[in-house]
Structure 1
Amino acid sequence: MAAPVLADEVVEAASRRLGPLLPLTVRVSGLLLLGGSRVTLARAVDVDDDTLRAVLDVRSTVPGRRHPGWLPHVTLARRLPRDRVQDAVDVLGWDDPGLRLVELRRWDPDAGVVTRVAPSGPVA
């Protein structure tokens, strides 16, 4: 979730609520274009109801969230010039692959830091 600050309590709640759900298999589906003249190209991710509930429960405790709701996705490209989107789409193909999520991380794009929130569970 995008917010100016994530308190330690929120990160701990995310670990408690989402950690036990890992590993988790999701389906990667439709394409998303987010932005203006430069876009973020992403694929939507279908998650199960338990995961959705857990995420929304944690989100509800975060003040100053930048976006309403939650749009699960996998970012494929950032700051992509709009006139290059079709080239990127042509490379991706059309399959909706499964994706195995094994770890919860927090990414701070401003600081360029990735922090492990919930470690990998047993992978079957």
Structure 2
Amino acid sequence: MTSPDNILLHLSKDEEQQVRSIFAAMSERGFPQQRQTPHITITYSPLMGDAAIERAAELLPPVIPAQFRRAGTVVFGTKGKQTIAWLLETSDEVEDAAREVSAANPDGRGKQWIPHLTMGLRIPRSLVGEYIMALDEETSSHFKNMTATRASLWRPRTQELTVFAHSEA
């Protein structure tokens, strides 16, 4: 199965490196290696439609850089492999923009959006509790706030990245 097109927010370079360091530490502990680029997904589709792309190009640049705060850890999935993520909170402006972009994607979830940063993909259900405990141990208690400095469309099939906004603030 081909990965879907995604409208994403990317962290600052320093924060992305902090997350990658956590991925490496978790791998050293014997958990599945995480190879994904740290990101916050706004919406995804097998083939992203023009309406969602146009809304993203219009609504996301004014909210970048976007501030996020870790608010907890969540587990997504109902099968044998789970996704573990940091639940994030952000400003009303970022929430509103993301919900409007998501609503413009017919394959999306309407105006629903759960801002999160995936910290563990395809974690066996039997390891979820242990993974969360290890993740807490490997994450600095000071790493609570993050900044999304880029909004983009990523098309894995063609390896195309279209940047809507970029700021190193």
TM-score by length of 2: 0.62
Among 88, 96, 111, the alignment partner of 2:131 is 88
Give % identity. 23
Alpha-carbon distance in structure 2 between the residues aligned to 1:99 and 1:114: 25
Task: Write out aligned runs for 1:38-117 (5 A).
Answer: 38-65=81-108, 67=109, 69-93=112-136, 95=141, 97-107=144-154, 111=157, 113=159, 115-117=161-163
Letter in structure 1 aligned against 2:84: L
Q: How many residues are aligned here?
A: 121
1:119 aligned onto 2:165:
yes
Distance 1:97 1:15, change over 3 A: same
Residue 78 of structure 1: how far off its partner (Å): 0.8
Identify unmatched segments of 5+ residues in structure 2.
1-42
Alpha-carbon distance in structure 1 between the residues aligned to 2:128 and 2:154: 24
Among 67, 90, 95, the alignment partner of 1:25 is 67
Letter in structure 2 aligned against 1:59: S
Residue 112 of structure 1: how far off its partner (Å): 8.8
Residue 5 of structure 1: how far off its partner (Å): 2.5
Letter in structure 2 aligned against 1:28: R
Identify unmatched segments of 5+ residues in structure 1.
none
Which stretch shows the higher mean deviation, 9-18 or 46-55? 9-18
TM-score by length of 1: 0.81
Distance 1:106 1:32, change over 3 A: farther
Distance 1:41 1:2, change over 3 A: same
